[in-house]
Amino acid sequence: MASSRQNQEDAEIHEGEEGEVEFITEDDILAEYPLDGNDGDEPMDEDDDQVGDLPNVAGGSSSSANAEPVEDNSVQHFRGHKSSVFTVSSHPTQPLAASGGEDDMGYIWDITDGEVIVKLTGHTDSVTSTAWSSDGEMIATGGMDGKVRIWRRVGKAKGKDDYRTWEFLTELQGPDEVMFLRWHPKGNVLLAGSNDMTLWLWQLPSGNTMQVFAGHTGPVNCGEFTPDGKRIISADADNTLIFWDPRSPTPLFKLGSDDGRFNLDGITSLGVNPSSTLAIVGGASGGIRIISLSRGEVISTLGGHTEGESIEAVVFVDLTGLGANNDGPGVVVTGATDGKACIWDLGTMRLRATLEHQDAITTLLAHPAPQSHLLISASADRTLKTWDARTGKLLRTHTGHHGPVLAASLGLNGSVIVSAGDDGICAVYTTESTDEDAFVTEGST
């Protein structure tokens, strides 16, 4: 069966320019929706890009009159948001970050000095998702208002290598409330999960709807393109996981609570290994399941976390340095509201190490090569930590937030961590170097 399915998959793949794989073409677009490229937003003047007087703090205290002093080892702050910051994403190559928050605003800002580059306006409810396209030429924001809004870089169109000039492109509609956004790893295709049990796929910059996936029975909490870009996997709060061919609205396989081994009391987190053969899903009840994507079934379970504590993050770490060329099952890290991060060797199903925070873990990040053994965790205990995933050794604790750290992202090839806090602050930390001034100087060039 697996061999037959693989042959079918191979037959469905299109070959693009220079032999690149295209999983979708213009002919696959389901419908075209007229888009008003301006939608009330005009390219922004430089004077409009500033938000008040933003303190350019480098390693300074972020304490306020009502907060107890906290040691701050960050190298920069961004204070543009007026309330909790729910999401932050680092640009793939440039010293930029995009953040969104409870104030219904998003921003692109410079991580070296905290300067606002662009205000990402237009939402009427909290901005809960930000995501850069794989080439860094577009940024998407998603909100509780159901809107997905896209901006693009203007500098490239004018023949300039300018990442400080952006313009509003279009607004995508369809979701009831955006639960997550993911760009295709190799192209300008955007995936969004919705609170209304649907999954949406658009092509950019045209904004055409390529697919609407139905089949979930609860809010679609999480979803991913497989690293090879050929498939989509999504999971919902009603305990359903679906594996999709992006070209078809019919699932390749579907798992739910009718399979006794898959009862997780709702799926809260999801990860796919670099070779696109395994998925790890975590549930609200603390359970973890390993799914074979070729067989479409549960092949094992993992323990380690406290029963009843939700699994909030799943990430694969590459201890071999081989990346996607690693054909083995790999090493996965799971983080939960019990404050634990468990490092699992999937080849032996052995728990390698348990890492601990004093409160719930909200985000796990795997460092890229050549230091792919590094792991970053963010927590509601107001800290982030850098670990050596090979040994479980704590390398550095990153402090400065006065509330739970709600999100984090790695930037500049993993040399910095950008965090988003419930305290309304975004902070920038170095992963290893303690020479903060050297970072700021280097990042500014």
Would you state the pLDDT for residue 257?
80
Better pLDDT: 31 or 289: 289
Q: Note the pLDDT tens digit of each residue in 400-425.
A: 999 999 999 999 999 999 999 999 99
Closest CA to 167 of 179, 175, 177, 157: 157
**What single DSSP character describes residue 368?**
P
CB 83 within 8 A of CB 121: no
Residue 401 is classified by DSSP as -
What pLDDT score does 42 carry?
40
Express as a percent the part of the chain with pLDDT over 90. Answer: 71
Give the pLDDT of residue 260.
67
Model pLDDT for residues 30-49, shown as the tens digit of each residue: 443 334 444 444 444 433 43
- Residue 313: the pLDDT is 97
Helix (H) or strand (E) holding 3: helix 2-12
286 pLDDT exceeds 60? yes
DSSP 259-327: SGGG--SSEEEEEE-TTSSEEEEEETTS-EEEEETTTTEEEEEE--SPTT--EEEEEEE-SSS-GGG--
In terms of pTM, does the model score above 0.75?
yes
Does 18 or 208 have the greater pLDDT score? 208
Mean pLDDT of 127-136: 97
For residue 306, is pLDDT > 60?
A: yes
Mean pLDDT lowest among 246-260, 303-317, 409-423? 246-260
What percent of the chain is modeled with pLDDT above 70? 78
CB atoms within 10 A of CB 104: 18
In the predicted model, is pLDDT for residue 50 greater than 60? no
Residue that the structure tokens 């965790």 belong to? 377
User: Is the predicted pLDDT of residue 103 greater than 90, yes or no?
Assistant: yes
pLDDT at 66: 46
pLDDT beyond 90 at 12: no
Residues 319-335 pLDDT 10s: 876 555 556 678 999 99
Strand, helix or coil for residue 154? coil
φ, ψ (nearest 5 deg) of residue 223: -165, 155
Average pLDDT over residues 347-363: 95
- What CA–CA distance (Å, rounded) separates 329 from 348? 9
Is the pLDDT reported for residue 171 higher than 90? yes
User: What letter represents residue 201's amino acid?
Assistant: L
